[in-house]
């Protein structure tokens, strides 16, 4: 078991990539906090699946863009499990897909500040405990679009680029304290967040990969597990593309 007895907090774990990550972490022995924002039934379903397979998990509602809600969540997590060993910053903040000139500042800044607040609030909440333990792992889920533009995705690209930059800054500042910080960058992955895309666009994206298929939440979860476990014990400040090879084409 790669995460035996570790305490892991996965933000946005009620659905999609976060849900698969939470389930995989639990199979690898972690005690998992399934954070969600609105979808309590989906979060409970993830917890029940973990528990029915002998794992340990509980669900906590918190809008990670709201500092007071994150602080409340941390109080519950520490009372329930203890200090967090692994933080996965994953919550998927929806955003308007439209050309830059059609976005208002409200559209743009909602996504940009949302991603920053999500990262800032979650990281600030767990790092003191990790510093005290002199160990910890943070994995931020970015996007292939942080490095490669997509038409209509400017707010997403800009905010995920900022996530990548923050990962490197934290990796530098926290490495000496035994805390690793890395980015996993999915390509198009079929989840609720992408199911709005017409099938022909999904096929086009699949054809633009070397592996000729789009990602699954399980593909991304396995890469997050690698970054969260000792398999990547000497890896920090890096950006792992999980995109079937589309970035190189």
Ligand X SMILES: NC(=O)c1ccc[n+]([C@@H]2O[C@H](COP(=O)([O-])OP(=O)(O)OC[C@H]3O[C@@H](n4cnc5c(N)ncnc54)[C@H](OP(=O)(O)O)[C@@H]3O)[C@@H](O)[C@H]2O)c1
Using the minimum distance from each CB to ligand X, give the nearer residue, 31 or 160. Answer: 160
Q: How far is the CB of 220 from ligand X (least distance, A)?
A: 7
> Using the rule CB under 6 A, is 92 a contact of ligand X?
yes
Identify which range of 32-40, 48-56, 75-83, 225-233 contacts ligand X by CB under 6 A.
32-40
Shortest gap between Cβ of 191 and ligand X (angstroms)? 3
Contact call for residue 39 and ligand X (CB under 6 A): yes
- 56 forms bridges with which residues in the sheet? 31
Interface with ligand X includes 64 (CB under 6 A)?
yes
Cβ atoms within 10 Å of 64's Cβ, excluding its own: 25
What are the counts of helices (DSSP H) followed by strands (DSSP E) for the chain? Answer: 7, 7
Give 3-state DSSP helix, strand, coil % of the chain, rounded to 5. Answer: 50, 15, 35
Residue 146 interacts with ligand X (CB under 6 A): yes or no: no
CB 18 within 8 A of CB 219: no
Total of chain residues touching ligand X, rule CB under 6 A: 30
- Distance CA(91)–CA(10), nearest Å, equals 8
Q: Taking a C-beta distance cutoff of 8 angstroms, is the pair 215, 202 a contact?
A: no
The least CB distance from residue 122 to ligand X, in Å, is: 9
Binds ligand X by CB under 6 A, chosen from 3, 6, 8, 11 = 11
245: left (phi over 0), alpha (psi -120 to 50) or beta: left
Q: Between residues 133 and 208, which has the closer beta carbon with respect to ligand X?
A: 208
**Do 42 and 19 touch, CB atoms closer than 8 A?**
yes
**DSSP label of 189:** B
Shortest separation between residue 178's beta carbon and ligand X, angstroms: 26
Binding mask 202-241 for ligand X (x = CB under 6 A): ----------------------------------------
7, 26, 63, 137: which one binds ligand X (CB under 6 A): 63
244 binds ligand X (CB under 6 A): no
183 binds ligand X (CB under 6 A): no
**What is the C-alpha to C-alpha distance for residues 140 and 160, in angstroms, rounded to an integer?**
10
Residues 190, 196: Cα–Cα separation, whole Å = 10
Q: Which of 30, 130, 188, 225 binds ligand X (CB under 6 A)?
A: 188
> Closest approach of Cβ 42 to ligand X, in Å?
5
DSSP helix/strand/coil, 142: coil
Six token digits for residue 34? 């399934």
- Which tokens in the block code for residue 105? 């500042």
Query: Which single residue brings its beta carbon nearest to ligand X?
Result: 16
- Contact residues toward ligand X (CB under 6 A) are 11-18, 35-39, 42, 63-65, 90-93, 141, 143, 186, 188-189, 191-194
């Amino acid at each position: 078991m790669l995460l035996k007895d570790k305490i892991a907090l996965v933000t946005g774990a009620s659905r999609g990539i976060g849900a698969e990550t939470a389930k995989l972490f639990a199979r690898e022995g972690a005690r998992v906090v399934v954070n969600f924002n609105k979808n309590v039934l989906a979060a409970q379903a993830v917890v029940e699946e973990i528990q029915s397979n002998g794992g340990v998990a509980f669900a906590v509602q918190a809008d990670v863009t709201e500092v007071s809600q994150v602080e409340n969540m941390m109080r519950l997590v520490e009372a329930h499990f203890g200090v967090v060993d692994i933080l996965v910053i994953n919550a998927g903040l929806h955003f308007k897909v439209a050309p830059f000139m059609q976005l208002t500042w409200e559209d743009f800044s909602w996504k940009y500040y949302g991603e920053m607040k999500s990262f800032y609030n979650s990281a600030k909440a767990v790092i003191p405990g990790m510093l005290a333990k002199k160990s910890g792992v943070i994995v931020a889920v970015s996007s292939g679009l942080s490095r490669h533009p997509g038409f209509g995705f400017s707010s997403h690209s800009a905010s995920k680029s900022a996530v990548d930059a923050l990962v490197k800054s934290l990796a530098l500042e926290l490495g000496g304290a035994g805390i690793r910080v890395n980015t996993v960058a999915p390509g198009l992955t079929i989840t609720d967040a992408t199911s709005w895309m017409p099938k022909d666009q999904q096929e086009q994206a699949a054809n633009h990969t070397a592996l000729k298929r789009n990602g699954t939440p399980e593909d991304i979860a396995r890469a997050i597990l690698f970054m969260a476990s000792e398999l990547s014990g000497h890896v920090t400040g890096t950006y792992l593309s999980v995109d079937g090879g589309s970035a190189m084409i």
